[in-house]
Structure 1
């Protein structure tokens, strides 16, 4: 009988084999704790060479870390092969990292093979805390995600939702089973591309499709390589196995993004455009060519930044929408309440729900927040200490890699009642007038709800993500009754098992039959 090894088991086998030889030839087995730590964080018992790797039993990192913290405590010093990591699994310790010691933990560890990849660490999300990161963060907050820009891009987001609903209506009329996850990714990616590089993508739709194809490949490879990244001296195993493929897909990205930037530059030649008509790519090129700019950025940094936005803006929103609709299908009583709320707000208006309706739909917002609590887009947030500091009396050395398990925090039974249950009501509070409102500000302030991370490196695109996700989920509930599988299996439930990956993907594709409940385009189709 053939034995099939997972990526993690394969790396562990190779690591153990080579380490056995290294024991005789190289450095000692045990690494002593740094002598300058007066009170190091607690550490569970480990094994020679592999440290605590054998304790990571699950296919998913966040779940493995949750099991580890449940048994050994919310703050742990882990040795994963030749690397050390501080694991944070409680809201109180997370508050120290995200708030009290925010500046001390404002860095992220560099990607292990950055020097061998076309963009290296030139992107925004993985950049070290410094002038470049600050400048790009400022650009995000004052331009890309500023309220005026979100208002300007609202029509393009609504247009993508309309296209999605029309496509689902056509499939519903044909009794077709649809890969809803793939269609949601298409919708989200188109919306992100139009927001970042409006004109070129809206006129030529092939760029977004090519980006989606490469994005899926990148995530698959990143998941495989990330296993090897914890293996200390032998972490190159992952890159030896998948590095060539990762370089190849990165070069394809570079070719496409360069083509898109040149299209923007051709548009600008001989044309005076007002500031309000510039998209993010235009603004970045303007800074790139300005000798008096606040910060000189390279063309590589521009492309790496755009790639970060495409991947981050697409994957997180797509997965959140999938989890939200999956849980709604599995909880028909909640689904019914969302639809009733939408109908009560729209009244007799025979139109599709829009972004402007969302503030009046608190129960819908609570559903999305509950999906984010159970399935956060970044289940483990990575930081690195910039200086020696303390967390509740424990000494943390400069350069320590820190993993904040937000998945564990948002399923902590000491914070949340029945934490593994899908219960949107936990995010609702009744106002003095007797109306429900969304109540999560206090939870975020206490770092009980950290779906988008925290501190100065909190996800800057959370506002636009929530706008798109809330509106898309509302449209899916308003227009369709979703059925799982083939005709005749109307009571089937969605498989909500979590798959392997660096985010929280669904283990199985979300294949559904859309049954048309309300067609807002009936007069035009």
Structure 2
């Protein structure tokens, strides 16, 4: 998993965690085994004399882990520029070979030409512990019949354009609730809104409502789901021994199951299971009392097709966890970073506000989804935010299921079976050969007549892959886009926005912290002002920001 690279680096650099202390005690005892594993890895790396992608010099045992910094997507881009060729580079992270993909042409070769070879996922004990085993969910499941059926179910029954559109009134109601809270903050005058908290709570509530229905506030389920999604992100983003030293983990056997992270995953799984069991049981009870009841939410849909697709109860729960993992952070991060970029670039804020307000009917309190089709600049701003700040900059890792020869340009490279594949979507979307002024926020590039007017994020344009491509492209991108656009439009329609006193546009910090998904290092604190009342200057900030909940 892409997020594990940074944590692995931190593990090496900072000997402060209980896991590291345990590893430091174990490694000397097993040093002969580790050296043997490293030698075996090097022999496999020779690949029978076939041409492998280029690699920088490696260290014994840890391979290239020491070269990966605290922003792995940036480190890998820089390493590829120095040591890669044709957009490909081979790194050994621990004992595991990793193919790093850093150019549109290389991404096309991996995700389209040889998509059938690279369509699987690496094994993960943490994912297995959280997601009911290795073949229960869809996002982390290996390629096979279960995954194909789960993918078919999700794309056919949950995320069609028609189905996503059917949830528009739910999304609009959730937006209305957030706007009401922000009006309260605006009335308080000195209460700032923590945009990260507000947007994460909104995205979580949208997903919770889609999964469990309108009464999701019962017993604080929305807050519990949000807490569990955060725990999942921390677990998936952490250092997991078997993913970098699988031979060592296998040799340790059951002892590895006593590592703190694995125990935390089992505890989180128990909490997920209890919550989802309650929701599924409630839905089953309602369905028994009303046989002709329409499918109102995702849980209803999954229960209605469980026999057709051979879903067990565990399969249903694992897919629901997938929906939360994928649906919350992506939408909230795009919203937060879009607002950050608009505050940094007030000319784009003014232009987008003008478009939104012009195409929202006079007398209509809020933007409705039917108004969005006449707002092309809104879509351009969302695209540009995704280009500069893909929420998962290294996507999710792929796995080579067979030996494969990848041809890119004039080069042909042998990729051994079992190689993990990391697609650096962040580097690709800032490639100067594909993008004009790649580090600048320029939504106009996606407008008619712009240099990227025809480029989209649906998997056909390999210079722009925020949702991936091929068989493993994110199936929920339409749901995420609908959630982002309706909220962003209303934020700009309903309010003027101000920074705290003493803070200028150029002071807005978009520095990232790496994890399963990226997060801004600094909170974005903004003051909403009713339309037409902005002073145009900064605003003194109360010590405690307005509660987004």
TM-score (norm 2): 0.85
Instruction: Give the C-alpha shift of residue 300 in structure 1.
Output: 1.0
2:213–2:297 CA contact under 8 A, matched in 1: yes
Partner of 2:71: 60
Q: Which moved more, 1:178-187 or 1:215-224?
A: 215-224
More moved, 251-260 vs 119-128: 119-128
Q: Secondary structure at the match of 1:277?
A: coil
- Out of 206, 217, 222, the residue aligned to residue 231 of structure 2 is 217
1:509 positional shift: 2.3
Q: Report the Cα distance in structure 2 between the residues aligned to 1:437 and 1:415, rounded to whole angstroms.
A: 9
- Which residue among 266, 270, 279 is the counterpart of 2:297? 279
Change (3 A) 1:7 1:397: closer
Q: Which residue of 2 aligns with 1:263?
A: 282
Q: Is 1:400 aligned to residue 419 of structure 2?
A: yes
Partner of 1:390: 405
**Cα distance in structure 2, aligned partners of 1:238 and 1:335:** 51
After superposing the two structures, state which structure 1 stretch, 298-307 or 487-496, moved more: 487-496
Kept after mapping to 2: 8 A contact 1:483/1:512: yes
**In 2, distance between residues paired with 1:332 and 1:75?**
38
Change (3 A) 1:188 1:116: closer
Equivalent residues of 1:497, 1:506 under 8 A apart:
yes
Q: CA deviation at 1:241?
A: 3.5
Contact 2:131 2:269 in 1 (8 A): yes
Structure 1: gaps spanning 5 or more residues: 520-525
- 2:333 maps to 319
> Could you tell me whether the CA contact under 8 Å between 1:66 and 1:89 is conserved in 2?
yes
Secondary structure of the 1:399 match is: coil
User: Does 1:92 find its partner at 2:105?
Assistant: yes
Q: Do 2:497 and 2:529's aligned partners in 1 also have CA atoms closer than 8 Å?
A: yes
Matched, 1:46 2:62: no
Relative to structure 1, the CA distance from residue 310 to residue 25 in structure 2 (aligned partners, 3 Å threshold; closer, same or farther) is closer
Q: How many residues align structurally?
A: 503
Shift of 1:238: 10
State the distance in 2 between where 1:25 and 1:445 align.
Answer: 45
Give per-residue Cα distances to partners, 1:384-414, cap 9 Å, x unaligned.
1122221111111222211111011001111
Deviation readout 1:20-51 (Å, 9 max, x if unpaired): 55444654343222544622111111111211
Shift in CA distance, 76/137, structure 1 to aligned 2, threshold 3 Å: same
Match of 1:416 among 431, 435, 442: 435
Match of 2:359 in 1: 345
Shift of residue 133 of structure 1? 1.4
Aligned counterparts of 2:258 and 2:71: Cα–Cα separation in 1: 20
TM-score (norm 1): 0.89
Secondary structure at 1:372 match in 2: helix
Aligned-partner SS, 2:422: strand
Counterpart of 1:502 in structure 2 is 516
2:382 maps to which residue? 368
Cα distance in 2 for partners of 1:513, 1:492 equals 17
- Whether the 8 Å CA contact 1:224–1:238 is kept in 2: the answer is no
Matched, 1:79 2:92: yes
Structure 1 distance, partners of 2:406, 2:52, is 10
Equivalent residue in structure 2 for 1:242, among 251, 261, 276: 261
Does the alignment pair 1:331 with 2:345? yes
Q: CA deviation at 1:444?
A: 5.3
C-alpha distance 21-226 of structure 1, shift in aligned 2 (>3 A):
closer
Of 71-80 and 159-168, the range deviating more from structure 2: 71-80
Partner of 1:523: none
Contact residue 428 and residue 438 of structure 1 kept, 8 A:
yes
Distance 1:185 1:37 in 2: 50
- Distance across 2 between alignment mates of 1:115 and 1:418: 42
Q: Does the 8 Å contact 2:459/2:470 carry over to 1?
A: no
Task: Mark the CA change 1:6 to 1:157 in structure 2 (over 3 Å): closer, same or farther.
Answer: closer
Structure 1 residues 362 and 226: alpha-carbon distance in aligned structure 2, compared to 1, 3 A threshold: farther
Q: Distance in 2 between matches of 1:464 and 1:114?
A: 24
Structure 1 residue 356 displacement after superposition = 1.5
Matches within 5 A, 1:2-17: 8-11=9-12, 14=20
**Preserved CA contact (<8 Å) 1:19 1:49:** no
- 1:113, 1:239 within 8 Å by CA — same for their partners in 2? no
Q: CA RMSD of the aligned region, Å? A: 2.7
How far 1:449 sits from its partner (Å)? 0.7
* Alignment partners' CA distance in 2, 1:438 and 1:266: 50
1:150, distance to aligned residue in structure 2 (A): 1.8
Q: List alignment gaps of at least 5 residues for structure 2.
A: 1-5, 534-549
Q: Secondary structure at the match of 1:106?
A: coil
Instruction: After TM superposition, give the deviation of residue 197 of structure 1 in Å.
Output: 2.4
Q: Deviations over 1:478-513 (max 9, x none)?
A: 22222333x565657321110131211111222222
Asked if structure 2 preserves the Cα contact closer than 8 Å seen for 1:52 and 1:80, the reply is yes
The answer (yes or no) to whether the contact 1:117–1:247 under 8 Å persists in 2 is yes
TM-aligned CA deviation for residue 252 of structure 1: 0.7
